[in-house]
A = this chain, B = another copy of it.
Amino acid sequence: MAKKPRELRPRATSYDVAASAGVSQSAVSRAFSPDGSISEETRRRVLSAARALNYQPNALARSLITRRSNLIGLVLANATNAYYPELAMEITRQCALRGSRVLLFSFLDASELNALLDQIWTYQVDGVVACTTLSKAHERAFEEQNVPLVLYNGAPETRHVSAVSVDHVEGEGRLVRALWRAGARRFGVIAGPEGSWVARMRVDGILRQMQALDLPAPQIVRGDYTYQSGVEGLRQLLAETVDLDAIVCANDAMALGALDAARHCRPMMDEDRLSIVGFDGFGAGRWLAYDLATMRQPVERMAEAAVDILFARIEDPERPAERRTFLADFVPGASAPRAAADQDGDD
């Protein structure tokens, strides 16, 4: 595995610093520990010697003895979910604030997950944020390894797993109500991919609200969360039905595809007649070409909550799993004219 691990000039160790500062190795260790029992005078001497030698403590050696790696695993499906980058950055930032680093694991396919988990155990991560739904077996593996796990927009299968999620059902409900109040009665739906829990929840929220409003069952077609599938979804819907008032798309990328397709297929269409809404709050929705009405996930707050829950569990392993749900924010837009938030809603 390691071919030529040799380093030209080996890195300074705590012993080197100790020798240079005329103290013992333990003094060096204590100097780098915020509440180490050491005099200010000695600490200064040590730190200055350390600086001279370009010394930084070896986190790996430290982890070996403290049993804390200060590494957090971030598991992402390789899908380019548009808000993943923002999420990853936010989680990295939150972890940095708590003194930990993020180790990135991405996978294309569930079949890679087993190997991925082995890598995770190997690296002794203190905890994991996974942006996907895992199988029961995978969740049990976390339990067996005593690695705290927080799912981000994933459905926990077992009691011991924490989760942070947006309230997909409530959010879609609010969207449907907004469209309904704006006069829409005949709905189409571009749903997400089959296997996805998020996709199921969103369709669920749509259908439930429509039942509550005594609306007939909508046309539903299935996309895969990409722009292109939104384009195709819209074509399919319009091929099957004329006279739709509104199309609810399971995410913003598909909504933008649907919007473009609508303009493209029927350039002269009465735009007032067809409303299109998305979900997520993806930056491009605010571009001049779109002005997409959607529900925005409070990504920053959700990321912070995920990291909070994770660290609480890391500091106290006995702590029970925790679930937190966030309400999405309604973002009005010209893609759904006249649609407005509930009176009681959305700050």
Q: Which residues of A contact B (CB under 8 A)?
A: 1-9, 11, 33-34, 54, 56-61, 63-64, 66-69, 71, 74, 76, 78, 80, 84-86, 88-89, 92-93, 99, 101-106, 118-119, 121-124, 141, 144-146, 227, 231, 256-257, 260-261, 263-264, 283-284, 287-290, 315-317
Contact = CB atoms under 8 A, between A and B. Distances in A.
A106 B92 contact: yes
Contacts of A144: 54
Contact of A101 (B4, B104, B283, B316): B104
| Shortest beta-carbon contacts, A-B, top 4 | A260-B288, A85-B85, A5-B67, A56-B121
A279 B205 CA distance: 40
Contacts of A288: 231, 257, 260-261, 263-264
B99 A105 contact: no
Nearest to A67: B5
Give the interface centre of A9, A92, A123, A261 by most chain B CB atoms within 10 Å. A123
B85 A118 contact: no
Contacts of A256: 287
A297 B172 CA distance: 38
B283 A122 contact: no
A289 B230 CA distance: 13
A174 B88 CA distance: 35
Number of copies: 2
B118 A56 contact: yes
Contact of A3 (B6, B263, B315): B315
A124 B58 CA distance: 7
Nearest to A80: B85
Contacts of A227: 283-284, 287
Nearest to A82: B85
Chain A interface mostly helix, strand, loop or mixed?
mixed
A315 to B, nearest CB: 5
A71 B63 CA distance: 15
Given A102-B103, A124-B60, A80 B86 contact: yes
Contact of A93 (B101, B106, B124): B106
Contacts of A9: 146
A103 B69 CA distance: 13
Contacts of A141: 54
Nearest to A7: B146
A88 B33 CA distance: 33
A169 B340 CA distance: 48
Nearest to A68: B2
A101 B123 contact: yes
Contact of A4 (B106, B119, B261, B317): B317
A9 B146 CA distance: 8
Contacts of A263: 288-289
Contact of A124 (B59, B76, B316): B59
B102 A67 contact: no
Contacts of A93: 78, 106
11 contacts: A2-B66, A2-B67, A4-B316, A4-B317, A6-B317, A54-B144, A60-B63, A84-B85, A88-B88, A89-B106, A101-B104
A85 B105 CA distance: 13
A68 B1 contact: yes
Given A2-B66, A260-B288, A261-B288, 20 more contacts: A1-B68, A4-B315, A4-B316, A5-B67, A6-B317, A11-B146, A54-B144, A58-B64, A60-B60, A60-B124, A61-B64, A80-B85, A85-B88, A88-B88, A92-B106, A101-B105, A101-B119, A227-B284, A257-B287, A289-B289
